[in-house]
Structure 1
Amino acid sequence: MAWEEELFGVLDELEQQAEALYDAERAPELADRSRAEYQTVPLVARLMASVDLEVALGVTGVGRVAGRLDRVAATWCVVGGAGRDWVVRLAAIAAVEGASPRAVPEVAWSPVTRLGVGSALRRLADEGERCVAHRLDGGRHDGVVRRVGQDFVELDQGDPPRPVLIALDALAAVRSE
């Protein structure tokens, strides 16, 4: 029986070597597949997985916005911290620190995530709080959100209040006061 055990040992060793060679040949293919799959992951999917985490966003026209990522929608997010909430358009985000290493696929998103930034701004209008609207070009407007149109937000600023209309495409973020 010793020769049979020796034969099976040699065969096991050959099988392990064959598996190792197969794995070594497949590794680059798997890496390529992984890279190809990852290139389809959008920033919003990473942000969806980062809800309730402390993050820091580099926002065009604003700078660093840090706090807890409270909500993410398809085109905007809410970052809360230090008694102030930020509504940030995803198109204005240049960098994210502290994001989850995971991503949430679009099929798993809540239907509420399909709401546009106008929905968040309408909520600010309902609350009547003072806020600061930051534009992508670095300009800012202090006031109260009054109404939200299809592609703009109306702020009352000054005393007496004067309306200013800000195109949503030019808006980077809005900070509640």
Structure 2
Amino acid sequence: MGWEDELFALFDDLEDQATALYAAERDVEVADRSRAEYQQVTLAGRLMATVGSTATVSVAGVGPVAGVVERVAAGWLLVAAGDHDWVINQDAVTTVEGASVRAVPAVAWSPLTRLGLASALRRISEAGEACLLHLRDGSRHEGHLRRVGADFCELTTGEERRTVLVTFAALAAAQSRA
């Protein structure tokens, strides 16, 4: 092997080393960018990608609710669990099992997803159906939603038609009784 062949072999070796170093640096950069981008992912984004799938959502004061995630919106989600629908305050969610590995960014959501928890509770109120309100402290109130304010709902309970005001901050979930 002549000196020219040795020189070309040296250049090939140096080029291979440079390519390997570039690939290693790129892998580190991609990993850093992935971590930086993932910090922008929200729970709602992951739940939005789970719509139509079965998941188990643990809710403060309630426990696990297993069912199909039907809808996700601003601050709440709808889970169909057997004969009951659950409107769950997202702030009361503690864990989710079975969520999609993907996420849907908020810019890709329908404008209807901007409707807040009050809108979901108003639909229950307008339907006139009985519901069970689960509070984060574990207590429950059964009755009919009468009216829904900006940050609370008004529930009429029992035969004595007692009125209970429940703040959204205390509300974990509303369960249909139909």
TM-score normalised according to structure 1 size: 0.90
Q: 1:11 to 1:133 in 2, by over 3 A?
A: same
**What is the CA deviation profile of residues 28-55 of structure 1, one whole-angstrom value per residue up to 9, with x for unaligned ones?**
2221111111111111111111100100
CA distance in 1 between counterparts of 2:5 and 2:52 reads 58
**Deviation, structure 1 residue 120:** 0.6
Q: Which residue in 2 is equivalent to 1:102? A: 102
Number of aligned residue pairs: 175
- Unaligned 5+ segments in structure 1 are none
1:105 offset after TM fit, Å? Answer: 0.8
Residue matched to 1:37: 37
Determine whether 1:89 maps to 2:121.
no
Q: CA deviation at 1:7?
A: 8.8
Query: For residues 115 and 8 of structure 1, what CA distance do their matches in structure 2 show?
Result: 67
Q: Which amino acid aligns with 2:104?
A: V
- Equivalent pair of 2:133/2:171 in contact (CA under 8 Å): yes
Give the partner amino acid of 1:157. Answer: T
Partner of 2:155: 155
Where 1:27 maps in the other structure, the secondary structure is helix
Distance in structure 1 (CA, Å) of the matches to 2:5 and 2:80 = 67
2:12 and 2:144 map into 1 onto residues whose CA distance is 75
CA contact (8 A) 2:129 2:176 kept: yes
Deviation at 1:21, TM superposition (A): 1.9
Judged with a 3 Å threshold, the aligned counterparts in structure 2 of structure 1 residues 171 and 25 are, in CA distance, closer, same or farther, namely: same
Deviation at 1:168, TM superposition (A): 1.1
Distance 1:83 1:20, change over 3 A: same
**Alignment RMSD:** 2.0
Counterpart AA for 1:68:
V
Instruction: Give the Å deviation of 1:137.
Output: 1.0
SS in structure 2 opposite 1:31? helix
1:123 equivalent in structure 2: 123
The change in CA–CA distance for 1:19 and 1:169 in structure 2 (over 3 A counts) is same
Distance 2:105 2:111 in 1: 13
Point out where structure 2 has 5 or more consecutive residues left out of the alignment.
none
What is the TM-score of this pair, normalised by structure 2?
0.90
CA deviation map 1:42-86 (0-9, x unaligned)? 111111111001000110111001100000002000000211000
Which residue does 1:135 correspond to in 2?
135
Identity value in percent: 56
Give the aligned residue type for 1:55.
Answer: A
**Aligned-residue offset at 1:5:** 11
Q: Distance in 2 between matches of 1:126 and 1:60?
A: 26
Distance in 2, matches of 1:123 and 1:134, equals 17
Q: CA–CA distance in 2 between the matches of 1:9 and 1:50?
A: 54
Alpha-carbon contact 2:55-2:67 (below 8 Å) kept: yes
